[in-house]
Structure 1
Amino acid sequence: MELITTHINADFDAVASMVAAKKLYPEAVLAFAGAQEKNLRDFFAQSVDYLYDFQRLKNIDLGKVRRLILVDTRQPSRLGEIARCLENPDLEVHLFDHHPEAPGDLRGRVEHLKPVGSTATIMVELFQARGLEVSPEEATLLAMGIFEDTGSFHFDTTTPEDLQAAAWLLSRGANLHTVTQFIAQELTSAEVTLLGDLIRSATTYTIQGLDITVAKVDTEDYYDNFAVVVRRFMVMENLNTLFALARMGERTYLIARSRIPEVNVGEIVREFGGGGHASAASATIKELTNIEVEEKLIQVLHKQVRPRRRAADLMSSPVISARPNISIRQADELLNRYNITVLPVVDDKRRVVGLISRRVAGKAIQLGLEEQSVSDYMSTDFATLTPAATLGDIQELIIEHRQRIIPVVDGRNCELQGVITRTDLLNLLVNDPSRLPRGLYSEQLPSGERQRNLQNLMVERLGRRLVVLLRTIGEVAQERKYRAFAVGGFVRDLLLQEKNFDIDVVIEGDGMVFAKALAERLKGRVRVHKKFKTAVVKLPDGLKVDVATARLEYYDYPAAMPTVELSSLKLDLYRRDFTINAMAIHLNPDTFGTLVDFFNSQNDLKDHKIRVLHNLSFVEDPTRIFRAIRFEQRMGFTIGQHTERLIKNAVRMNLFDRFFGYRFFGELKGILSEENPLPAIRRMADLHLLPFLHPRLKLEPRLTKNLEESQAALAWYQLLYRDEPCRNWLVYLLALTVNLKRSELQDFCQRFEVPERNRQQLLGEKTAAQQAATVLRRALPDSNSGIYHLLAGLGPEGLLYLLAISRKKAAKKAISLYVTELSQVRPELNGHDLKVLGYQPGPIFRQILDQLLDARLDGQVRNREEELVFVRRHFPLARTKVEQA
């Protein structure tokens, strides 16, 4: 039996190639390996001219298949149930595929493999070579395959052969109207909404100098045309590379597109069990959330996009080798003469047949076997690699399979080309800056002066309620044979004798189990975060306790999200940002109040110094730079000289485009929320960090003046004791970005993943304030009502920002008049009063009340009686009724 099939989730290129293969193998059966894409299903449902004899898979005895014709794939993992055919004895495989070669590809007795834009192009070339003709319907279907897989000839994988094949199909009657109908689809309203969500969520990472966009959405609905939405997004935003994640129900769908050869999305998506080619690929992921997929994706991107180190780059060549018939003594002489550890043994054609190590040769000589043949004692259980093998392949053999040396052989005739040793790999890896120092493994408590008991200070500064809570935490941990520690800023502020009720607890044990037990003991509520092994316990009296499992966070590459492993307290403290935040206090009853200070943090606290714990701290997490500035200015500390040098080095490395924007926005918001953020902003300018916000940001005298005026405006507003709160950070951010256009501010919001609510506030206040500023520069309104209507659309933040950027005294006076008086003015009459007066509800009510407000603002009426007179005079009841009629 002959069977023609393709990959699961078949597209137009796959189906067109199957139909074409049927012309080459007339006796073969057509069957899909799995589902088809929605636009393909729609095509077959709507087009009665395209009725092909596809068989249901359940009606096929796969054990009887003797020839398997595969189109548009060579990967067994993409064949679903049909992969069982590969176990059939004497199975003959014929391959037709345009995808690049990948690990695990099948080999066929007949192979038509070519790096063109679509498999349909290969089929057309075969038809031309064999003089086969096609019907207009067949030509149309093949054209669909070419148009789809080349992105209508826009993808970088498009070749001249694709264009020539399409031209040949057009000459055979291919219908472009049908092609356009099913390939260039319009979006539904729901898909337009999905597109908007994708655009808003998009984050662009710069990896090896390339901009790579990642967007993600969560939706309960399933969108069959998600790939079409992704394609539209890419075209609209003119992106070179896009990875789109959609969590739909229980699965996460990954669609990847690339226009540049440096990013091969086919290889990247294979890491998620998917497939595709260099410019378009997809995967369905069952076990991971969007966040987990994104984190893994960033790791894979840093591995794949980085200029790849191949075996050919690492191997040593030429290779010292020996023949199988030499003696153990001769092999030992070679090993010692050239000071090598392992000697490859090769045959007459330089094919590796074994490996003999110095240790084995030495032991054999001790046993009196020096004249024995090397072939008797050489190791034949080893793996080889080709020069194109990746760093991952090398690591797998040397680290996971503990192979000391890897022969690198030619992929065609297996001739020895070079060798890679464990030392070669280590020399590469030790220069990887994403690895943490590994020298901190002692778990013993420090001795001497650094070991203090702070019970008395805790009772004095914290009060009975907090001390009882901390003791209870220690008791609950003790009952489960865990160790509990208060850590971080809580300890720092206790030693500085500052108030801090934010309790962070680290558990040597299972932090989530502990958190649930503590919540049960204190009748509180618990919320856990399984990925980071953290939890929050909220107590009935309003206090909350943040709980973490003692953990080490290591970063797979600069600016990555941390990967978490269980660890000891010392390693948990080592991951902290600064030494002053890397202390802990024992909470278990037997050692309650004992200070843990592994890193001499107390001296830095005493010296008012901000220091990092290791040299890669800012490489791992650049947001720490902004935290260092915030701590320095808030606490009156100084960033240590070495730490400042590391900051400047991180700035030179331009690490800030590589990490998650929202984390940065949180730190920036923290700085601007300080009582006086101006020193921190000046410090950011000194360290050349302002251009990271936007290239045009410079702390020039005019901008400095705006910030100082903003500070004065906020101080004035606070003295008014108004009920309406004002977000200080928003005022300062508006002042800081005063010179940015709205589009540039939108880019800022997108880049730093500003939450939608904050984004609307920022853009809304910016637009309204700039419009008002333009009017105030030209001429002031000539009445109070004019001032009111000019400024009524602004919130307190926009008003204070407008006050800060206004230079004319008259303008400032008008704004302050609005804030202190005019914004509070309201007519005494209301809609109910108008009804009592005999007016019928309708648009007239708004007209009356608006004019009444203006009259009140301009002093034309001062009380309820005057308002009644005003209404009767300007809106006579009889005339109003006629107008309403």
Structure 2
Amino acid sequence: MDVITTHINADFDCLGAMVAARRLYPDAKMIFAGAQERSLREFFLKNPEQAALFSRVRDIDLEAVTLLILVDVRQSERIGPFAAVAHRPGVEVHIYDHHPAGNADLHGEREVIEPVGSTVTVLLKIFMEQGIDPTPEEATMMMLGLYEDTGNLLFSSTTLDDYRAAIFLFSHGADLNTVSDSLVQELNAEQVALLHELITSRTVLTVSGIEISVAHATVDHFVGDLALLAHKLKDMENLSALLVVVRMGDRIFMVGRSRIPEVHVGEILSEFGGGGHAFAASGTCRDMTLVQVLERIPQILRERVQPRWEARHLMSSPVKSIAGGASLREARELMTRYNLNALPVMDGSEVAGVITRQVADKAAHHGLAEVAVSEYMSGEFASASPSTPIETLQELIVDRNQRLVPVFGEGKLLGVITRTDLLRHMVSGARALRHPGVEDLAASGSALKKRQVSRLVRERLPASIRELLAGMGEVGDAQNVPIFAVGGFVRDLLLGKENLDIDLVIEGDGIAFAREYCRRHPCRVRTHAKFGTAVIIFPDGFKVDIASARMEYYHEPGALPNVEHASIKLDLYRRDFTINTLALALNGPEKGALLDFFGAQRDLQDKVLRVLHNLSFVEDSTRVFRAIRFEQRLGFHIGLQTEQLLRSALRMGFVEKVGGPRLFNELAQILKESNPLPAVERMAELGLLPYIHSRLTLPPRVKSLFAEASRAIHWYELLYTGEPCQGWLVYFLCLTSGLDEESLEELNRRLGIPSRHGVILGEQRREVHRLQRFFERRWGRGRPLRPVELHARLSPLATEALLYLMARVDNDEVRSWVSYFYTALRKAAPLLSGDELKALGIPPGPLYKKILKTLLDARLNGKVASREDEIVLVKKRFLKP
């Protein structure tokens, strides 16, 4: 298979270059490696026929790729899932690009790289050499890329070849109206000249490890839209922080733009009489020259820009440690259990050294597993305080190769910072870490700001729930413990789905918090001390689950977890999927902030389900069922790697180790979905049904049973009887309808089916199958059942069994018999009571049963309609004259 792709966050140059490459490789599939920029996404929304030209990564087999054509990119870290393809032996790589080599790590059997303004130009030179004529639609998409990357042919990087390429596209029908509508407003000549001067003059100041660009220029007259030029410069150079200073006539105009909270441009420009927001500000001053302003900027930056990320923001706690006298075998077991790569070695309350997994493994390989940890630990290490800046941590961990940095405060070990902690911080752009002002992080991209989250809470939650959460936060503030709403409640808040199943996590004693809340409010609490959890129950029956922040580890696959207290970050790490790791802070300085340590918002946006680590399904194989349930309920898809891990867990038999009751609970949860059939079909597709029972399959007959059962359940719900019906049990009967009685009994024992369901799944199921055959024979002979017969045969059955019967029969008239019984006959009963029979002069005794049966039959057959009718019948049949 041939594939054409480009870098993630693709722009119009990527689009045009991919379309051009398709003409050179007509059999290749065009696939974006990742997300696209907003302008490109909007173009596809307006032109769906162009979007249809592209395939999705999930729709192809990456292993089948033999030729990879890269356009506008030469770095493997920028091509997402295709990085592994590019490095796979046997895959031929062709590269078309216009960027300087830089840190490029990819090389191809064919490379066409030229220093022009656009990759489209590189490919169009080949078109012109080979006489290839693009269609008008292709020419328009190529022109979009050419214009965007050359700034409408005005950037200083624009070459003569770019102009020739534009002429070529125009001559082949490129629609400039579409180009104009899709790209940002064109700049006039004065603005282009000013922007060029800003680009040329830009310098970078590094303050506390933070890079801030400063660009300046001078013009003799006023040039409008300086803010637009600043925005363009920021985007063109992908700058985190930018100050633009321009003298126009006798005034100094200043514009600030920032993407990071450390650089508050509003505060910075306030020093020059200006102001604005943290990420956008402006100012004007008359009493200073341009030179004076430029000289003062570094001083103000040193005062205003402070290193806000410190050790306390990165450290993990509580700390897992080991005594120096413990064996290396114990150290290995501890690191495996908690998924750690290094441990502090303690001598009493002091850290004596650090032992790494690598050292422990090598020592065990040499037969030294029982030797004390202190013999092979590293005793030379640096520590940090909570206020240690991140630059120092980077030096220790990266430059000095220290695997673990202990953090001390007030004479005790508060936490540790690992290489993974620092790497996650650096890769995420600091979006993952908790911090005052976290709502302002990721000013661009999918991360939600605090005010956006507040709007969602206000718009999507009932007032009663908002008041409840506010009350919880107040109690948390009083107890000085952080409180977070977590899990599906927060996930569905972002998705716009109704979910009032509230789970709260307390960084502290969850039970103590719950009791304090109940002391202040009219409710009661039920606790579970072993897991540090509680349930707050309100007078109307509404419940809120409370848990202490905890971490879990598993002694063996499929076993129940062991639980220990931890931070909110570690608590979320134990969750099943990334989309369920969001946390909403309800109190303290972070109140209203959305915590996203593991990329949940990205996966929600991409509609993908991913596990947090590769052993997720091994440690808890019930997550296999939850993956399917969430995938179908939310309309998501299981990520490629996650599905591979899921299938691996199935092949290795980990699902078989799950206890029956836990397996039954997950299956019941799937069957409780509003439409469980797609999830059951997905289970069958993944080969999961035989793990529930070796003979369990999903033939067409069972699928049709699900459809009929859905109709029957909906019919029952529309009756509004007020009586509960367990629809999942009806679906369970449908799913297992093909099993013989012996196999079903075996399955019931395996799953530990509760006895309250056993009667329906046993004798009532047998009776339903018998009645189905009997009813259909009667209908075939044209002999409908009389009301008395219907009542006698159907009244012993539970509602779920009756609905299962309606699903099984193939004839609507037979279904109407069951419907008639349920709506008209089921609650039929004599109006006369035993006391009234006694009043008529009939002594109590066995005769009463016969009389009541006679009255019921008469009522079912329409022979009596009132109390008086029943009295007449009794006197006639049972009272002697």
TM-score (norm 2): 0.49
More RCO (CA 8 Å, sep 6+): 1
TM-score (norm 1): 0.49
